[in-house]
Chains A and B, each alone.
Chain A
């Protein structure tokens, strides 16, 4: 229950990250029109061109006042930016972010700042977005591949099954981090999307194996044989009778997979092979903190965040496993 609440909370933080920490107004009225510059955190091109034309240079509070005294704006809860250092006087009564190893947590930088003076709290809030995005998209890819491969192998059997099982074995044989690193390393400019694709392409084997096993088991059940005896077609048997009943157990490795994808993303970022620098990532923060043990806040906060997230998804996976366990279900 707590795990579920945490996951929901993290989802909200990720979704509302520009509203929690940022230097762009959520809503502002500028020269008589309404704009939503904070959307720029999701995608650069969503930030209205008018601000680039008017050379705002991301310093909204002063420029808004200067260019249009009648303007108003609604600001994020914390005026900090995940990409750059906030300078002195940008925001009323807020000093510049400290740099080097002086940025221990304070009133303005809740979790401190890194060596370049970028706020850790802002990076973590926006990093949650990266983590969740990677977790869900890569597992989405993995689930699609895994379910298709596993279902095909389990349903058709024979040489198709032999060939696909072989394929699963081959992919499983290569240690996943090794394969991922090898693939990422040869990319010229890896983006976060490449990363997700690679994680998805390497992470489907467990799902495929389980789907295949479920299909093989369900195929022998009397209700499937009864459907064949009735004359129900292959496709209908596959989807109506097998897929629907196989999906609940398959959710278990998917949930564990999300945890491991988030973990792998932060590990890769930590090693410097993650999404390129401007992307905020928990792993990248850890990498920042590696150089200097005195800057404990660069290790502790993202470390705890990774731990809690992995823990939450593992707990949910465990819960799902218990509820789909045939032994426990049979005892009802």
Chain B
């Protein structure tokens, strides 16, 4: 057996708030051996980040380590005096964080910041440290390191900043690297690069990694062992293969199956609630603990439960052929249909362009344009879901907003049911607004904090004259809440009383209040935890079937788009790169960019994990 780099026993970290004690980390034990990677996975509030900050002894505010031991290379860190702890931070154990944008000091060059870390722990002259820094930047794949060493953080992209963070963390050859959601803020192709660098550095340096994430796909790509956390407790701990092949705890089972995969067979997603229920119980010291009760459902039950529902609805066969993805029986899921030849599309977007001017100079001359959307054309048929997928800045959000006239298109036509939306004004535009709706990403910013749920839901009805009087509208609001699975007594409450998932349901209810035919879902589930995301996705699918809605589903997450959408458009730099049936694009991508995107999307396919584990074992055996 190899040496443990870190060995944690019965760690408890509590927050002492005015409302009482919160057990953020409640009895966690694990160890990481030399050269191994432990993945800690959990949803928001599970205590995974607090665990990492406890190891670094960087807890802020009211958080305190109550009991337990943290042995790093045999030395217990819990009682270590601060000056000694300081000499360990950055040398024996170092850390990278989620937000590369804010984690580097804006007023120093990246070189200065790495040099500082080097000279803090090693006796190096300035020029030696600088030379070492350039080597490190080269090692993490920064092009022209000798030039970039003098760049300021704002002159670098997010991915480059995270590489700098890694270089800084590795500068003093730590035995353990703690990576706290290091790829969450990055695009998926950049995420793949960062994961690749971390794997390479771990192997070349024989370092151990503690990798913290909410994303099981990422865990499957990098971890040797996995620890699953749920509300401060560890619910499962084992090798990556055990966890993915044969999960024991209902929470792990739920988490694994509620995540849409690129090869998912489901039409509706199982949710964590299908596997377990939770009960809050008070502890003697006044804090609350969560007891889990397993729901006795076999996975077959759940598969049956989630395999009904509507099949895919594709464009007409002649259209598919012109898109370069002709109808091929074998590739497509059963029950897939295509619209009849000659059907008029509900929405026809033709050569849509949205350009924002860049102004400069003495008289604000326009010196150029940001071409956010640059010649986009597509059709959407009634009852279809069109997926728009792409990385940040590709123009998908702007395209969605232009269709609703929330930004004004520069040129091109948007015809909804034969009406040119781009040229509508006044009352006609207002009338159109009741047919087209939108649901946003941020569940916290999309509800007016000073309006009750009732006024939020009644306002759209009042604007469009739906319902006869206030009482009638309130009845309709109750009905809407029921439709999105919220109890009617929520009407009197304010948004801050709800969780993110509940708020998103309220937003859906508000969009439905005007009885729309067409809804743009703009990253509508991206800010939610996976277990909540599954519920909202199911709800959207159920509403579509019940009300015959047509969706444009915008997301950066290829697997979510593929799960939701019949047809998928891959966008890059303001243009549609590839357009076709979701299944076909995934199975047989025609464009290089699409292929890159699919390859970069983390997969938790058990065969892949097995292959990777075997390769790792072979490599370490040498």
Contacts and interface: CB of A to CB of B under 8 A. Distances in A.
Interface of A: 221-223, 225-233, 236, 240-241, 244-245, 332
Contacts of A228: 406
Given A222-B441, A226-B440, A232-B463, 12 more contacts: A221-B445, A223-B447, A223-B448, A229-B404, A230-B464, A230-B510, A231-B430, A231-B433, A231-B434, A231-B514, A232-B459, A241-B448
B459 A225 contact: no
A225 B514 contact: no
B448 A245 contact: yes
Contacts, number: 61
B449 interface: yes
Given A225-B440, A231-B433, A232-B459, A245 B449 contact: yes
B446 interface: yes
A72 B529 CA distance: 78
A229 B433 CA distance: 6
Contact of B442 (A222, A229, A240, A241): A222
B446 A223 contact: yes
B507 interface: yes
Interface string B9-45: 0000000000000000000000000000000000000
B430 A245 contact: no
A327 to B, nearest CB: 14
Contacts of B463: 230-233, 236
Contacts of A229: 404, 406, 433, 436-438
27 contacts: A221-B446, A222-B441, A222-B445, A225-B401, A225-B440, A226-B438, A226-B446, A227-B459, A229-B404, A229-B433, A229-B437, A230-B459, A230-B464, A230-B510, A230-B514, A231-B429, A231-B433, A231-B463, A231-B464, A231-B514, A232-B460, A232-B463, A240-B451, A241-B448, A245-B449, A245-B450, A332-B496
The 8 A-B residue pairs whose C-beta atoms are closest, nearest first, are A231-B433, A222-B446, A222-B440, A231-B430, A230-B460, A222-B445, A223-B448, A229-B438
Interface in B457-512: 459-460, 463-464, 496, 507, 510
Given A230-B514, A231-B434, A223 B445 contact: yes
A332 B496 CA distance: 10
Interface in B351-403: 401
Interface of B: 401, 404, 406, 429-431, 433-434, 436-438, 440-442, 445-451, 459-460, 463-464, 496, 507, 510, 514
A241 B448 CA distance: 7
A116 B201 CA distance: 89
Contacts of B441: 222
A54 B120 CA distance: 92
A294 to B, nearest CB: 53
Contacts of B429: 231
Nearest to B432: A231
A221 B444 CA distance: 10
Contacts of B448: 223, 227, 240-241, 244-245
A13 B473 CA distance: 50
A245 B450 CA distance: 7
Contacts of B406: 225, 228-229
Nearest to B429: A231
A332 B17 CA distance: 11
Contacts of B436: 229
A258 B580 CA distance: 64
B507 A226 contact: yes
A233 B446 CA distance: 18
Contacts of B451: 240
A229 B407 CA distance: 11
A236 B404 CA distance: 19
Contacts of B433: 229-231
Contacts of A230: 433, 437, 459-460, 463-464, 510, 514
Contacts of A225: 401, 406, 438, 440
A229 B431 CA distance: 11
A245 B447 CA distance: 12
A268 B78 CA distance: 62
Contacts of B442: 222
A97 B404 CA distance: 79
Contacts of B430: 231
Nearest to A233: B463
B447 to A, nearest CB: 5
Contacts of B464: 230-231
B127 to A, nearest CB: 42
Nearest to A230: B460
A9 B445 CA distance: 40
A16 to B, nearest CB: 36
A223 B460 CA distance: 12
A233 B507 CA distance: 19
Nearest to B441: A222
Contacts of B431: 231
Contacts of B460: 230-232
Contacts of A241: 448
A129 B592 CA distance: 78
B458 to A, nearest CB: 11
A3 B429 CA distance: 52
A118 to B, nearest CB: 51
A117 B437 CA distance: 76
Contacts of B450: 244-245
Q: Which of A223, A227, A241 has the most CB of B within 10 A?
A: A223
A229 B401 CA distance: 9
Nearest to B407: A225
Q: Which of A222, A225, A227, A241 has the most CB of B within 10 A?
A: A222
Contacts of B447: 223
A84 B374 CA distance: 81
Contacts of A233: 463
A38 B510 CA distance: 59
A229 B437 CA distance: 6
A245 B448 CA distance: 8
A218 to B, nearest CB: 10
A229 B447 CA distance: 13
A79 to B, nearest CB: 51
Q: Which of B401, B440, B448, B450 has the most CB of A within 10 A?
A: B448
Contacts of B459: 227, 230, 232, 240
